[in-house]
Amino acid sequence: MQYRTLGRTGVQTSSLALGAMNFGAIGRTTQDDVDRIVGAALDAGINLIDTADMYSRGQSEEMVGKAVAARRDDVILATKAALPMSEERNHQGASRRWLAKALDDSLRRLGVDHIDLYQIHRWDPRTSDEETLAALTDFQRAGKIRYFGTSTFPAYRLVQAQWAAREHRLGRYVTEQPNYSILQRGAESEVLPLAEEYGLGVLVWSPLASGWLTGAVREGREVTTSRSAFMPQRFDISVPENQAKMAAVEKLAALADESGITMIQMALGFVTAHPAVTSALIGPRTMDHLHSQLAAADTTLSADVLDAIDAIVAPGVDLAAQEKNPTPAPSMTDPALRRRAS
């Protein structure tokens, strides 16, 4: 396992980190499954586990908390808040009111007295940067969190938040979690260069592109992955974006065969090769998934392989940008904001 510094925090983080979205109802995993996966991941050198309050409505956090209880000091524990936790309109977002409750709920579910990295799951356009950063700074000073970061923020909002922190003398975001894979390279154009400029740690989500880069999705085969069962639209070959992904996957599979590595090794080796990336989040649902992904821990791709990947999917190109699920700017959803008043 390789280790890298998480932004400018000084914290040493494994190049592969464990994502816990599949723990609980989403992945149909039991506590025994989670205990085995977490234990094996930690034994292999992974030292960061990332979850979120909304994963299986808190069940993932509960399972992670139980699984790491005996090894808490060895784990960089990360979770997220801001996405809806119920139909109540104020049980979401990045306001001080909601984050204070969400954090206490996460601490209780995880069974810990502090969280190492607390992340805002999506940009909340209804809440000012000052409001959110002030709340997070107070949580940090109270010892409830050590650091705070973001997930899937537009590049311009990351810059705005850095300036707001400086202007109001508040703590700043120290990490970002972008969607990044061979099939989704849009982060290369703005987010990853920005992360390098501002010294942000980068934890990549979906480096296997929802299973497209595992070798399980191939032309002419029925797709039977767990992800395809609850996200069928991402695997519908009648969709033009999915046709583009399939064409790329067939070329990537041939390249992996020629290079003597698995698709998983190539996919994870690709994202961890970028100098801005700290860790790639893997999300195994079974022990077999974990072992196949751990095999990429020491994978280093040659310049020839990276050049060949560039020829298949051009740098900065998203083959299915809508799958990143970003928060759109208000002007994209409200026509009145795009039209000058007469």
Active site residues: 55
The first and second tokens of residue 32, run together, are 């025994």
Q: Based on C-alpha coordinates, what's the Rg of the chain?
A: 20
Identify residue 307 by its one-letter amino acid code.
Answer: D
Identify residue 14 by its one-letter amino acid code.
Answer: S
The first and second tokens of residue 64, run together, are 């992670």
Q: Whole-angstrom distance between the N-terminal and C-terminal Cα of the chain? A: 61
The first and second tokens of residue 62, run together, are 């509960």
For the chain, the farthest-separated pair of C-alpha atoms sits apart, in whole angstroms, at: 65
Which of left, alpha, beta for 152 (phi over 0: left; psi -120 to 50: alpha)? left
Identify residue 239 by its one-letter amino acid code.
Answer: V
- How many other CB atoms sit within 10 Å of the CB of residue 243? 13
Local structure of 11: helix, strand or coil = coil
